[in-house]
A and B are shown apart, each in its own frame.
Chain A
Amino acid sequence: MSGMWRVADVVGVHEETTTARTIRLRLPEPVRFLAGQHVDVRLTAPDGYQAVRSYSVAGATPPDSLEITVDELPDGEVSPYLVRDLAVGDQLEVRGPVGGWFVWRPEETSPVQLVGGGSGVVPLMAMVRAHAMAGHPAPFRLLYSVRAPESVFFRSELETLARDDTFDVTYVYTRRAPDGEPVGRLDAATLAANVLNSGSDPAVYVCGATGFVEAVSGWLVELGHSPDRIKTERYGGVGGAS
């Protein structure tokens, strides 16, 4: 079933930042979704030309709605259309959700450490939402590396969710921070100070640009996390999601 293209209605759009927006899609039939999965989106130009891109799903509302959050890449072909031009009432073709590896299932009982860089937070947000929706007792931690305060996706929802004892979010600002908070790229020491200890054997999910994921997953292994407990998803610069 995941291989079929289906026509989805755009039923809502929400600007996350000046360059990113969340698009709510309603599918023609109920959707089975695991937190962390992606969908393929196909656009057709008036001359018949088609372009396909994969986007992580930020969350699902049963039975038939999904949200994707798309960051505009300046030289992108598809993302500028989705972020700037697409409107409620338009339709898109969608395949999926797909993916059975970089996913979190509520049946899992381990503590979970999420590490996201930039728009890499999107599939992690789906996990945070699924965890909250399930009232799941396992500790969830999100370490979110982001350029500046105004670049944060889902901020008010994250702050609300963080009032719950089982969820915490820590921001690392790489270019500009709110007053009184440090600025700088995530490094091994900051990572070590802000992730669940390897002793609790957490399931770890890392998503972001290739360099970010390479560095973070390497440091996690050095900190004693077992490689087979670390799942990664990478946005490879020009390749991943233009």
Chain B
Amino acid sequence: MSHPAFPPLAKSSAFCAALFWLAPGAPLSAEPLAYVTAQGADALSIVDLAQGRVVETVKIGKKPAGVAVAPGGLRIYATNPEGRSFSVIERGPDGRHRVIAEIACGAGPLGIALDPAGARIFVADWYGNRVHVFDAERLREIAEIAVGQSPAGMATDPEGRFLFVANRESDSVSMVDLATLKSVAEIAAGKAPFGVTYDPHGPRLLVANVQSGDVSVIDLATRRETRRLKVRSFPYAIAATSDGRRIFVTNQHDDSVSVVDGETYAELKTIAVCGYPEGALLAPDRRSLYIACWMDDVLARIDVESLELVDKIAVAASPRAFGQFIAPDAR
């Protein structure tokens, strides 16, 4: 397979490392873009966050849900649960996007994540109870990792030592050693854990438990749940500010976002945001939290300081944006 127009992202670790250090305004680092999987449109809505509007819509596979943007933002992966595949999208030097592959993967590919270098792709198979591992350069499957039942959300630590996988039907999180690609621990969480976020403060893992309506705080030194934070109905995904001060949780059935103090764990506010808030992520500017609103077909923006809803950006039908839908922070 060759990509004449553009070198594959994960060509070498040096290449990836270089991308981390590109200054804003450098040719490869344009405006931050959000890649919103639109389940109802079989498409990816590409939102220019500075302009606050969709700049491109790319058709991908069937009923897309999970998404992961590689460091540097030139590669985007999105799962198509009903197509039993994931799509690989590249951003060219002209800023346009094109699908370079759709890769068959398991029985119910849902969550998708990358290692910090963007060299390996992890796809959680909801029905297969395993994580499929692909080499990002060759786009070939290199391993399968047995995890719990109905794996959903995933996250890695910044050093890329571990992958954490929420097992929705096992009420647990699998901790996978990324050197051996084996699960080394299964950590008990609440009922039906779905979204998982790694927070370097602690370090701790934040896990949204859909059915118990709370968030598990897992201490990574002891690999145990140390706290349970009550939120609203059907929590789905979690975003944490880089300074560790704020934790945001989307509550699907409550149409809201819970804001929790990251130090005291006190609930600060519940923000009425939109119908069925799903994926949540902080923008590189650290001032904006973006939320995909599945029912309302918008990407909502919340101001992280004022905790107010400040914008709604129209996107294609039934946005989910489950995963790292903006390129990871380049620091």
- A and B co-occur in one complex: no
Interface residues of chain B, those whose CB is within 8 Å of chain A, are: none
Interface residues of chain A, those whose CB is within 8 Å of chain B, are: none
